[in-house]
Amino acid sequence: MTDQRFARVLPLLAVLGSVTALGIGTSFAKQLFPLVGSLGTTALRVGLSALLLLALWRPWRWPLSRRDALAVLRYGVALGFMNLLFYMALRSIPFGLAVAIEFSGPLAVALFSSRRLVDFLWLALAIAGLDLLLPWGVGAEHLDPEGVLYALAAAVCWGAYIVFGKRLGHLHAGQSVALGLSVAALAVLPFGIWQAGSTLLTPGIFLFGLGVAAVSSAIPISLEMVALKRLPKQAFGVMTSMEPAVAALLGLLLLGEHLTRLQWLAIILVMLAAAGSAVTARPEAVPASAKVLAELQ
């Protein structure tokens, strides 16, 4: 009986652990901004994550056609710039709000794939939430417009990353994850080197970046794989829709980022839209809130 209960709870704990680890890793990464800047932080996080996953999966064990290589290239570039633009947004807007805005990307992908009446409800909730966050909305008079634009650009890249990732579904998950992150690293490294230079190789910063990479990439991806084997896509999407709230709480606890009541309301509305979209998604639709690599879904 105890084993059965643990089997039911395990995937839920795995999703919660994944979302929390990702949030903790990002919160710690933000503490590198004064030392190497947002671009240098992105280069460290993505570059070292790629090295960790290359060592873990050894993707060269599987063949890769020219067509698949081009697909991995598009996927990796989208992944790299999604991270780069998101970290640029974190320079001036709170973590939880950046995540909520970024969720508009996968939400758009999920909603564009269906035209049922219920989808307009989730669209309305998402628009209402974003209206409280965007510079022209009623609740964003103190939110930096540049940071919001970076978060919106990251949302576009997240949407592209999901679309491109679905085209890699026939590859081994470890292969596409490792190769995609490697391409992402090559895409963002020049920006990090331009901003931080040899500071990136300072032992203390390098080791801190390695820890961030492990916590924000290797651990979440591993936990997501555990959950996806045991949860329906819709249930997984609903659970990962809590990411904006987890990010906001971690931003408060680790970074001292306080949000207004309207901003918390915006996060709740975006979460409801993401969860609702995941619950009502058709089998072929992408769960709106899934922050997992698309080919694992």
160 located within any domain: yes
Q: What is the reported pLDDT for 236? A: 65
- The total of structural domains in the chain comes to 1
106 located within any domain: yes
6 located within any domain: no
Instruction: Tell me which residue range forms the domain holding 155.
Output: 13-296
Q: Could you give the dihedral angle defined by the CA atoms of residues 271, 276, 278 and 279, in that order, rounded to the nearest 10 degrees?
A: 140
Query: Using CA atoms, how far apart are residues 60 and 174, in angstroms rounded to an integer?
Result: 10
pLDDT at 293 over 70: no
The pTM assigned to this predicted structure is 0.87
88 located within any domain: yes
pLDDT, mean of residues 38-51? 94
Q: Please name which of 183, 207, 226, 176 lies closest in space to residue 11, comparing C-alpha atoms.
A: 226
Q: What is the reported pLDDT for 110? A: 73
Between 84 and 281, name the one with better pLDDT.
84
21 located within any domain: yes
8 located within any domain: no
Tell me if 110 sits within 8 A of 161, measured CB to CB. Answer: no
pLDDT in tens, 182-220: 999 999 999 999 999 999 999 999 999 999 998 887 788
Query: Using CA atoms, how far apart are residues 165 and 73, in angstroms rounded to an integer?
Result: 10
pLDDT at 87 over 90: yes
3 located within any domain: no
Query: Using CA atoms, how far apart are residues 139 and 136, in angstroms rounded to an integer?
Result: 9
Q: Where do we find the tokens 């994850």? A: 177
253's enclosing H/E stretch is helix 243-255
266 located within any domain: yes
Q: Where do we find the tokens 């990353």? A: 161
